[in-house]
Every structure is written in C-alpha cells, then in structure tokens.
Homo-oligomer: A and B are copies of this chain.
Amino acid sequence: MAEAPHQQATDAGLGCDWIAVDWGTTHLRAWAMDAGAQALDQASSADGMAGLAQDGFEPALIALIAPWLSSDRCVPVIACGMVGSRQGWVEAAYRATPCTALADETTRPQVADPRIAVHIAPGISQNSPADVMRGEETQIAGFLALNPRFDGVICLPGTHSKWVQVSAGEIVSFQTFMTGEMFATLSRHTVLRHSVTEGWDDAAFDAALSDALSRPERLAARLFTLRADGLLHGQPGGVARAKLSGALIGAELAAAKPYWLGMNIALIGAPDLCATYARALNTQGATPVTLDSAPMTRAGLAAIRKQIEDMP
C-alpha cells in the first residue's frame, strides 16, 4: 500500500509511540501517545461496538488512526471498553472482584495490518449482586496510578453510573445504576417527550432531588406529574428536564448512600454531568473531587502499556 504524503508527514511530525483507544457501545476514541504517556493527537468516530460486525473492527480502527501509522514499524494499540465484550471484536474475559483495577493481562485479536499490535483490556465482574463493568476499570486504574494511596469510593456517572468501593489498591465491590439510560429513554420514548425539552433550572433540580431523596419510591408517580404539570400548569420543558434529572439522581443517591456516606468521593466522568452529581452530593454534605474521564482513561491505558513493556 502506497503511503499518502500526508500520512508520512503526520507520522514524522508525531513520533507516535503507541495508541490509546476508548471503544464503547456508541463511540470510538483514539489518542496518538508519546513514550511519556502524553497525547500528541486525538481522533474519534461514531464506529461504536454496537454498529460493527466482528470483521468491521479492524477497518474501523484503521480508518481512524491511519494518519498516525507508518509502514516501517508496528505500534501497540491498547483498547478498553465494550470492544472486549462478547458482541465486540474479541471477548476479553472479566476479572472478578475483589481485584486490582489494573489488568495484568490483555486479550489480542488477530489483525491483518502489520502496522498495529492490538491489546484489549478485560472488564471486571462481581458475582453477587451480579454486576459488570467494561472501560470504567481502566479509568479507575488511571486514577489510582495518579493517586496510589486513595481509599474511598469512586463514582463514574454516565449511561450506566458506577459506584465503586476502593480500598488498599483494590476494587472491593461496585454497583451499577441505569440512571443515564433511564433519563434518555424516558425523555425520548415515553409520553414525557412532549413535556421534557432542552433547558435547565437549578432550583427545580434541587427541589426534585430533595423530594426523591426523602421519598425515593415515588419515581413512577413523579414522572407522570411532570407530564400533568405541563398540561395543567404550563410548566416549561427545561424545568421538567431538570426535575427528571433530579428525580433520577436523587433515587440513585438514596440507594447508593451506603457507598458514599462519610467516605472520600472521587467523581470521574464528563465534566457537565460530574458537576450535576457534585451539586447533588453537596446538598447532602458530601464534597467529592471531580476528574474528567478522558485523561483517566489515557492514564489507565498507559499503565497497561507499561505492564506490557515490562513483560518478559
């Protein structure tokens, strides 16, 4: 295959040592990394795991990272996330709790392209109550690489929010809440789609949060009230959106209280969502620290990369 001049120039300019990949259900994100674990470039696409057949993973990856590749050498590609699930590229079997966040081995899919050597990090499972994660363990490994003495709880808000108890460098237990996916499906696929629109109202969020924390069982009734308040009292769609978020996050905090009460809390996730969770936890007297998820993912993948290098 002839190299395009652009690729050669980019590669020469980058000096890319390895490639970090966060490959989830609906997204594919990659970073060209130097030997010191700094990102030199980034790229992303909508080629998430859910939209790919097994033979579609390598082409989707190459399409995204080709500008960073050089025909004269093979670079390691370290990936985490749903790419390692049974429906992914190759299944990377779960490690079971209690365990370190950092994987001690990876799974390697067969690849046709000689320029890459792909490693996929395993997820973590918990036998009882049954629970699983894929991708979050790498963010936690990155956080612990930077904060090796942390003892407490890590909350990773998102589509499937995770609360993870960490002690003595190990993941002791964790619990997943479908809060983000419930918010998305309720606001798009139910009668609430007529009542919940863009916009936000902090006071409405706070009130719904407080109500949900004190009466968490009333969720299904609270949801229909959002519709009826729109019909009868002209409640704005942004107020309804903030109330829906407050009702769902309030129920999550009520159920996750054994995790966070009196604990050190680190929030890892998208900055806007972390700010919402931090606001909610602040009302309960908890003061989490917040970290953006992307640098934690890169730090975790860099820790895996270092382990692979150190292997005999």
Residues of A within 8 A of B (CB): 86, 94, 125-127, 129-132, 160-161, 175-179, 181-182, 185-186, 188-191, 215-221, 223-225, 227-229, 231-233, 248, 251-252, 254-256
Q: How far is the CA of A232 from the CA of B130 in the complex (A)?
A: 7
> A161 CA to B221 CA in the complex, in Å?
9
Given contacts A225-B131, A228-B132, contact A220 B185 (CB under 8 A): no
Residues of B within 8 A of A127 (CB): 232
Partner of A185, one of B190, B221, B229: B190
Q: Separation in Å of the A245 CB from the closest CB of chain B?
A: 13
> Which residue in B185, B190, B232 is a CB contact (below 8 Å) of A132?
B232
A228 to B220 CA separation, bound complex (whole angstroms): 23
Closest to A223 in B: B178
Q: Is the CB of A220 within 8 A of B178?
A: yes
Instruction: Please indicate the chain B residues that have their CB under 8 angstroms from the CB of A217 in the complex.
Output: 216-217, 251, 254-255
Q: A130–B233 contact, CB under 8 A?
A: yes
Q: How far is the CB of A146 from chain B (nearest CB, A)?
A: 28
Is B255 a contact partner of A218 (Cβ separation < 8 A)? yes
Partner of A131, one of B178, B215, B220, B224: B224
Distance in Å: Cβ of A153 to nearest Cβ of chain B: 15
Task: Contact check, A229 vs B130: say whether CB atoms are below 8 A apart.
Answer: yes
> Which of chain B's residues has its CB closest to A161's CB?
B220
Q: A189-B185, A232-B127, A232-B132 are in contact. Are A178 and B224 (CB under 8 A)?
A: yes
Contact B177–A220 (Cβ < 8 Å): yes
Q: Are B248 and A220 in contact (CB under 8 A)?
A: yes
A179-B225 contact in complex given A127-B232, A185-B189, A189-B189, C-beta closer than 8 Å = no
Q: How far is the CA of A185 from the CA of B161 in the complex (A)?
A: 19
The answer on a CB contact under 8 Å between B186 and A225 is: no
- Shortest Cβ distance from A249 into B: residue: B220
CB distance from A240 to the nearest CB of B (A): 11
A-B contact pairs, 18 of them (CB 8 A): A129-B221, A129-B225, A130-B225, A130-B228, A130-B229, A131-B228, A132-B232, A160-B191, A178-B190, A178-B220, A182-B223, A185-B185, A189-B189, A216-B217, A217-B217, A219-B251, A220-B248, A221-B252
